[in-house]
Structure 1
Amino acid sequence: MAMANPLQFIQQVRAEVAKVVWPTRREVLLTTVMVFIMATLTAIFFFLVDLLIRSGLQFVLTTFG
């Protein structure tokens, strides 16, 4: 494969960057808030699952241990 001319490469990069549709400030803010909400819900879920497993294991160990 032949190496492209550096000037031609830069022109092609500029053409591709011009095709990019950048998100609006509102879209970035909404998706950021949604990520934080989902991360918080996931952390709460795994905390509760861990608490349940730990409590069950402690019950089993104190009962039969």
Structure 2
Amino acid sequence: MVSKTTAPTSSLDTVKLTLALVVLAAGMFGFYWFEQVALTWRVIAMFAVVGVAVGLVLWTELGQRLMSFSRESRVELRKVVWPTRQETIQITLIVLVLVFLIGLFLWLVDSLLFWGVQMITGQGA
């Protein structure tokens, strides 16, 4: 039997995550409650609320793991060998030609099947 081990979540982390959700919900409520305020100010306030909520999440153990994953992803992204511009253009042209040829083939098969069904049902010329 395989058992999964999960890191225990502290109650403080749960409180922080819940608080982040409450802050986000309050921000969304306030965005619509204060509709008489200019949209620019409401959007700025919403960005601030989202920033506070993200800050609360990053302050938890889950947030620290997400940040670590993000850093490791950037390191791996630097290791990728990207194709040159010429290779990209060539592959794109090959894909376009193949899409056209497959479309042409499917149209031909569809036309032949349509013609065959017309002949079988007697609706053809």
- Place the TM-score, normalised by the shorter chain, in its bin: 0.7 to 0.9
Q: Which amino acid in 2 is paired with 1:42?
A: I
Match of 1:43 in 2: 103
Kindly tell me the number of residue pairs found equivalent between the two proteins: 62
Q: Which runs of 4+ in 1 moved over 3 A?
A: 1-6, 8-11
Deviation at 1:11, TM superposition (A): 4.4
Identity %: 34
Determine the C-alpha separation between the residues in 2 that align with 1:10 and 1:61. 62
Deviation at 1:4, TM superposition (A): 4.0
Structure with max Cα Rg: 2
Q: 2:90 aligns with which of 30, 37, 40?
A: 30
1:1-65 matches, within 5 Å, as 1=7, 3-4=64-65, 6=67, 9=69, 11-62=71-122
Determine the C-alpha separation between the residues in 2 that align with 1:17 and 1:39. 30
User: Alignment RMSD, CA only?
Assistant: 2.3
Q: Answer 1 or 2: higher relative contact order, Cα 8 Å, separation at least 6.
A: 2
Gaps of 5+ in 1: none
Q: Which amino acid in 2 is paired with 1:28?
A: T
